[in-house]
Chains A and B, each alone.
Chain A
Amino acid sequence: MTNGRMDRERIRDLLVAHALGISSEAEREELAAALRHWPEGRLELAALMRTADVLALTSDQSAAPAIGLEGRIMMRARSERDEGGTRAPRRAARHRRARPRRLRSAIPYGFAAAFAALAIGFGVMAFRDDPEPVGRWLAVQGSSGTDAALAYVTNYQNAPVGLLLRDVPPPPEGSIYRLWHVHADDSVLAGPTFQPDAENSVALALAAPGGGEVVGFAVSVEPNSAGAITTPELPTRDAIRYTIGLE
């Protein structure tokens, strides 16, 4: 009798542990064996799992992810679909580096620099009053000696809110890129620092740092201080790697 009660308690503990997602491999095997001939137990497990899953809904949803995250996801999804679901796009092989670098990045968005200069000829971007975000691909040309890239700027209510880049090379070792907002009154305000991901792509949410209408961006290279610099100095001409004009 005592052993039977202990077994039932043991099984119930296994059910709860599994429902909460904390059971070990051995415990999962033990539970699977117990459930094999115990239909009521399977229903019990299903009910406990649905109960445990309610915990996820208690998470505070007031915070939203960066606007650029959607674009990053879509780019990856399209890339994987177009290449038949292969893990690493062909393009990334040239610039492959340790993936944990991105995960350990102190930069909130893990972005990479490489805003190449916008090809002159697109003219003024069509800012317009539109309740939905609008955007377009821009051909980007790097400064002398840098690679070309592609940029996709997302606009919402007449302001750029997201910037996606492809084919962005990593910055020099020990360095990091910084985005600068260039305003119509010629003021230049610092934006976030960032680095490319393993596929040399970049997604950046353009949180407005103030200063009025944004007419372009610049990207500079600076020593990687792991986010310690909160008020960076304006970059020198030599430090500027790319510029993007929006008009």
Chain B
Amino acid sequence: MTHPQPSAELLRRLAEGDDAALRELYRQYGRLAYAIALRVLGREDRAEDAVQEAFLRVWKNADRFDPEKGAFSTWFGRLVRNLCIDMLHRREPLMNADPIDDVERWLDPAGSVAEPVLDRLIARDVFLRLPPEQSQILELAYFNGLTHREIAAALEIPEGTVKSRMRLGLEKMRRHLDGSQGQ
């Protein structure tokens, strides 16, 4: 299932408060958002709460998305994921969580590589190619929000092992993605 990026026109309408644009966006990304939320939160009712909150956050922050820094799908996916992790860990109230990370202000837009649209099948293929000990750790980190220490405790392995497998797994994914995109 591909996720064609929303047009500049759609994003403009969204930033101007056009609710029809929000509806279009929901019909395009609602299923993805729900899939991420359900995977993290494990409950339909909470997943729907998270999806609702994610789209409302996009509604209020549409003018903050910079297409030069990457695809909307990945920006939105990260927003949903972070929001769900906060819900999972009962951290900051949903309304106060900020999707824009302090560190990201140092990212140089000029240095960003143009990002092609990623197909879900490619993404799954890349992930499944990883050794299970690496994919398991990435899953625990990304979809459960566990830290190095928490993962080490959960799997009863040294923290250093967690860090190295996590790093190797992510770097391996990156190489696979570069290869599948012909880079």
Task: Name A's B-contacting residues (CB within 8 A).
Answer: 12-13, 16-22, 24, 28, 31-32, 35-36, 39, 42-43, 45-61, 63-66, 69-70, 72-74, 76-78, 80-81, 85, 87, 102-103, 105-110
Q: Within 8 Å CB of B47, what residues of A?
A: 65
**Pick from A19, A22, A73, A102: contact of B26, CB under 8 Å:** A73
Give residues 136-178 of B contacting A (CB, 8 Å): 138-139, 141-143, 145-148, 163, 166-167, 170, 173-174, 177
With both chains docked as a complex, state the minimum distance between the C-beta of A29 and any C-beta of chain B, in angstroms.
8
Counting chain A CB atoms within 10 Å of each CB, which of B51, B103, B141 scores highest? B103
Q: Within 8 Å CB of A20, what residues of B?
A: 138, 141-142, 166, 170
Counting chain A CB atoms within 10 Å of each CB, which of B106, B107, B177 scores highest? B106
Could you list 13 further interchain pairs (A-B, Cβ under 8 angstroms) beyond the known A42-B106, A56-B142, A107-B45?
A20-B138, A21-B85, A28-B101, A32-B106, A43-B108, A51-B173, A55-B127, A56-B32, A58-B120, A64-B30, A65-B34, A70-B23, A77-B22
Q: Within 8 Å CB of B56, what residues of A?
A: 73, 76-77, 80
Q: Is the CB of A73 within 8 A of B74?
A: no
Q: Is the CB of B170 within 8 A of A42?
A: no
In whole angstroms, what is the CA distance A110 to B31 when docked?
19
Q: How many residues of B contact A (CB 8 A)?
A: 74
Give the number of residue pairs across the A-B interface with Cβ within 8 Å.
Answer: 191
With both chains docked as a complex, state the minimum distance between the C-beta of A207 and any C-beta of chain B, in angstroms.
12
Query: Does any Cβ of A come within 8 Å of B66's Cβ?
Result: no
- With known contacts A16-B167, A51-B174, A56-B32, A61–B120 Cβ distance under 8 A: yes
In whole angstroms, what is the CA distance A228 to B93 when docked?
30
Q: Within 8 Å CB of A36, what residues of B?
A: 106
In whole angstroms, what is the CA distance A110 to B101 when docked?
31
Query: Does any Cβ of A come within 8 Å of B19's Cβ?
Result: yes
Q: Is the CB of A81 within 8 A of B167?
A: no
Q: Within 8 Å CB of B166, what residues of A?
A: 13, 16-17, 20
Q: Is the CB of B174 within 8 A of A18?
A: no
User: Residue of A at shortest CB range from B1?
Assistant: A61
Q: Is the CB of A54 within 8 A of B127?
A: yes
**Pick from A28, A43, A80: contact of B103, CB under 8 Å:** A28
In whole angstroms, what is the CA distance A22 to B77 when docked?
15
Q: Within 8 Å CB of B87, what residues of A?
A: 103
